[in-house]
Chain A
Amino acid sequence: MIGLKKIWAFRKGKWALGIISFFLVIALFADFIANEKPIYCKYNGEIYFPVLHEYGEGLGLLGNYEFLNNKSWQELQLEEAIFPIIKFSSGNIDQNSSAYSRPSSSFENGFQTKKHWLGSDSIGRDVAAGIVQGTRKTLSIAFFAMLISCLIGFVFGVLSGFFGDRSVRMNLWAFIGLMFFIILIWFQWSYNHWSFGLALIATFVLISAVFFLSPRLGGRQFYLPLDLIIMRMIEVFKSVPALFILLALLAIISKPNIFTLIVIIGILRWSTIARVLRAELLRLKENKFITSAKAIGSTDKQIIVNHLLPNALPSLLTVIAFGFAGTILLEASISFLGIGLSAEEVTWGSILSEARNNFSAWWLAVFPGAAIFLMVVACNYLGDTLNEINLRSN
């Protein structure tokens, strides 16, 4: 297992860990870093924690502050207050703020002086607040999309690398019958009143029954060419032009939210993980410790979970790190093209795309792009480091 200490020993690893944890902190505490509400304040002799209160409102536990009366916190004369570093909420348009304010320009709003640390965009939204909230979106999209591709890649990688072409054996007629009945079951789901769950349970029962009975039937046995089928699938997915397909898919959905984006990106990117896991398993399977494990009677599950996966993990982590960078880039490019999330959702890519509307607003081009760049480089550095550690230990 690769510890953080090992990564820290490399120069690139230090950079990677530093930058990634920096963005992670920003993503986790985004509401405390960029918010138009004060973190702590004293008003009419009472103490409030408006940012924390916001979480309560979000969960439906707490009601709104009644004394606010649709006014913003800036319009109140607070006795004491601690505001976040960036006094803006992402996406909210501050009325007194002007469009295309230069970085670190400030203006008066009510009783507060507010400062656009990184400037503002075409409708006066704060760039710094957008980047802070965008961090959360970008990281969560990349994380969950990678999780989905890992799950799919894991299943297919194990099926093709561990089981391969010559270990799943069954009676030929049982197989043909199985296929026939599975089609019949799903036919009932699509045309008759069978529910999805019923069809799923029926399929599962059928498959387990056939796998249980088939070796006992004798007759003509044949091997299910799992490896062949999955390799063909990987080849097709490799030749899919990801950006073009993604754009076409998003155009069909027309109003994608974060969830659909995660699912689509996750499904588009599983093939690399499956390919690497397959290669690793094929390599590891030849080792003596696997033969010994088989000799003492370990089950397939024990061999995969206890022996193969821990050994395949370092290479997998390398691919995941590079895949993370790729996912961030893909998400940023579609937001940049304006086809990803809806226009109100501020992301790194969407802020960057605004730079094309006004060439004199250099801050719109530099800062969000730098965030994407840093994150991508950090992931690539992490991948390089993991790869290096891997090579040295072998």
Chain B
Amino acid sequence: MLSYFVKRILLFFPSIFLIGAFTFLLFNATPTDSVASLLRLDGFEEKVISEKLYKSQYKKIASELGLDLPKFYFAFVPRYYPDTLHRIIDKQERKQIVDLLSHHNDWAAVSSFIYQGEVRLQSTETKETKKLITDLLWVVKPDDLDTKLISAMGTLTSPEVSTFLDQAQIVSQQKTSWFIFPKFLWFGTSNQYHAWISNFFSGSLGRSVQDGRPVWGKISKALGWTLSLVVLGLSFTILISVPLGIWSARNGNSRMVRLLSNFFYFIYAMPLFWFATLMVVFFTTAHYGNWTNIFPGVGINPYAGDESTVSKILANANQLILPVFCIVLNSIAYLSSIVRNSIIAESNQAYKTTALLKGLTEKATFWKHLFPNALLPLVTIIVGAVPASLAGSLIIEVIFNIPGIGRLMFDSIFGNDWYVIFSIVMLVGVVTVISYLIGDLLYSYLNPRIRFDQAKKV
């Protein structure tokens, strides 16, 4: 038992590592520039303030976000690469240098070309020369460098420029090889991935691009709403479907049972978002008769601001009735049929006959022997239902305008708020992994007949 527990818990860490890597990978593929959006929030508009101030502010924010760190613990780069290429934050600038390097595989030449160019740009006065030098420095295709150089040489004749032009001459010549040997770079723990994971678990997830508030603050506020939806939904489902399952197992053939189970099966087969939409459309307004506005409309009541989330949720209890009702009604059929099948399966076991032969009453046999055993599979199913109910909660929150994490994710997608989006994805992934872990541990603890290794081989 213990070895299985240890093994199962050890499996938890690679899963977290992989989910972290996956979200981090996606995070790095995001199309918009979060630093620029954060700068805009702080009042640093590009083109309004001087370019120098903007650049220095950009650098400051980017290094706060750790964007000047290497991506991962290690990297394989071509032999001729510099060790600190990651310090260049601007993507355009980095791509330019990488392009030049793959045209002329020599860092010493490329770096002195760029250095000389920058020095010239600082010291030359005429706009024309500046423009020509920038054109050469930031050439779009390194293959065009030599033709550009020839045309520039006619105009740039002053002796100061000649060192730069000499360097440009060197770089413009192609220097590549058919096979590149990599070199291995080790960065240690000061890398973006490590920071991403450790920041996630320490709760410092950065700032939201939409309003500048800390991401963790936004998520923790939203989490209260989602948790109350999930917990209320699950507990009402259990409270209703366990008695229903017992009742239908005992009166298996009555017409009422069949009618009710068919009704719940019908609701269960309806997609949650359709069922919820139908409820909202038909039962929150008086369009369809005098009595059809039995539920309050969607959304939550406006509140004064700094109330605690708990008091906000309590103040909006009546707004939560319909969403919870939708969640519960949609999942009753599934859970109650599991309870029913499990009770029927247990009542065919030999121990029931033994208990009856011992002289126990039918009732005592049921509650003392059958019932606890029948509820065993329920434990894992309920724990395993947590991830699915988070996804269900997302749709419910969007339909009913409840500010939970699903709604937050939905709004953040439209606002390109990547820090919020990927923190939520990571959070949901971690919750999913943890709930499967708890489910497996509970199952093997409660039902020692089943061992992990045996289950694996089936």
A residues near B (Cβ < 8 Å) are 183-184, 187-188, 191-193, 231-232, 235-236, 238-245, 247-249, 251-252, 254, 279, 282, 329, 332-333, 336-337, 339, 352, 355-356, 359-360, 362, 365-366, 369, 372-373, 376-377, 380
Contact = CB atoms under 8 A, between A and B. Distances in A.
Contacts of B15: 235-236, 239
B391 A242 contact: yes
A184 B182 contact: yes
Q: Is the interface of A mostly helix, strand, loop or mixed?
A: helix
Nearest to A377: B269
Q: Size band of the B side of the interface?
A: 35 or more
B456 A329 contact: no
Given A191-B102, A236-B15, A365-B281, 19 more contacts: A239-B432, A239-B436, A240-B22, A244-B390, A244-B425, A245-B26, A248-B413, A248-B425, A252-B31, A333-B273, A356-B277, A360-B287, A362-B281, A365-B274, A369-B274, A369-B277, A372-B271, A376-B269, A376-B271
Contacts of B410: 247, 337, 339
10 contacts: A187-B180, A191-B182, A192-B179, A231-B456, A239-B387, A248-B422, A333-B395, A336-B395, A376-B271, A380-B269
Question: Chain B binding site: helix, strand, loop or mixed by DSSP?
Answer: helix
Contacts of B284: 359
A102 to B, nearest CB: 12
B13 interface: no
Nearest to A372: B271
A340 B399 CA distance: 17
B273 A359 contact: no
A61 to B, nearest CB: 39
A76 to B, nearest CB: 39
Nearest to A364: B281
B111 interface: no
B271 A332 contact: yes
B18 interface: yes
Contact of A243 (B177, B182, B278, B391): B391
Nearest to A233: B18
Contact of B424 (A231, A244, A333): A244
Contact of B270 (A192, A359, A373): A373
Q: Which of A184, A236, A240, A369 has the most CB of B within 10 A?
A: A240
B398 A337 contact: yes
Interface string B401-427: 000000001100100100001101100
Given A251-B413, A359-B281, A362-B282, A240 B429 contact: yes
Contacts of A359: 280-281, 284-285, 287
A380 B271 CA distance: 12
